[in-house]
Amino acid sequence: MENINEKQITSISKLLSLALRHNPSSINIVLDHNGWTDVDTLIKNINKQRYSIDFEILEYVVENNNKKRFSFNDDLTKIRANQGHSIAVDLEFEAKESPAMLYHGTAMKFLDIIEKEGIQKMSRLHVHLSETEETAYKVGSRHGKPIILKINSFEMFQKGFLFFCSENGVWLTDNVPTEFILNRPIQ
């Protein structure tokens, strides 16, 4: 894209994450019950900030976001974040059978609390899990010295835990009790 550089794309993506996942009022938008907001209103309100974007730039940011955090509706009139919300929205996920093993990337500094309480969703609507160790490592690296926890998701599923998979392939569940963490550190 000629009229925008990578730094601007990253900045716009971060603003979208803030507005569509955590704080819609930061750019004076409203999310409906399912997390959608009007694209034209979003663009107009982003342009009231320090940006100058049009639909082409927004579409480029959505399509090229390395984590595929955002999506448009079928007619491209609405946009939402795919997961990671700290505000109540219903993303209309359908429960699915999980893969046999999933991974959770976190930082070493959180292991004590995870050992006691399992993996909790904290301020988010779900715990985020990935199908690959590589993705989990990247997630854990954002928070400090990374560690990858192996989750026996098949056993969790067999015991009635619900799993959902977002549009960008992130697996979601409400919590992961310690008994399902296969590589728990010994205290």
| Structural domain range at position 10 | 6-81
Per the structure, the count of domains in the chain is 2
Residues 13 and 76 in one domain: yes
Q: In this structure, is the dihedral angle defined by the CA atoms of residues 101, 80, 120 and 96, taken in order, positive or negative? A: negative
For the question of whether the overall pTM of this predicted structure is more than 0.85, the answer is no
pLDDT of the residue at 30: 96
Give yes or no for residue 66 having a pLDDT over 80. no
Which one of 48, 81, 114 terminates a domain? 81
pLDDT of the residue at 64: 87
Give yes or no for residue 182 having a pLDDT over 70. yes
Residues 160 and 111 in one domain: yes
Residue keyed to tokens 């609405």: 78
Helix axes 55-64, 39-47, angle to 10 degrees: 100
pLDDT grade, residue 187 (50/70/90)?
very low
Mean pLDDT of 41-67: 91
pLDDT of the residue at 132: 95
Residue 147 lies inside a defined structural domain of this protein: yes
pLDDT grade, residue 142 (50/70/90)?
confident
Close Cβ partners of 160 (under 8 Å, ≥ 6 residues apart): none
Give yes or no for residue 185 having a pLDDT over 70. no
CATH number of the domain enclosing 45: 1.10.10.970
pLDDT of the residue at 186: 39
Residue 71 lies inside a defined structural domain of this protein: yes
Residue 175 lies inside a defined structural domain of this protein: yes
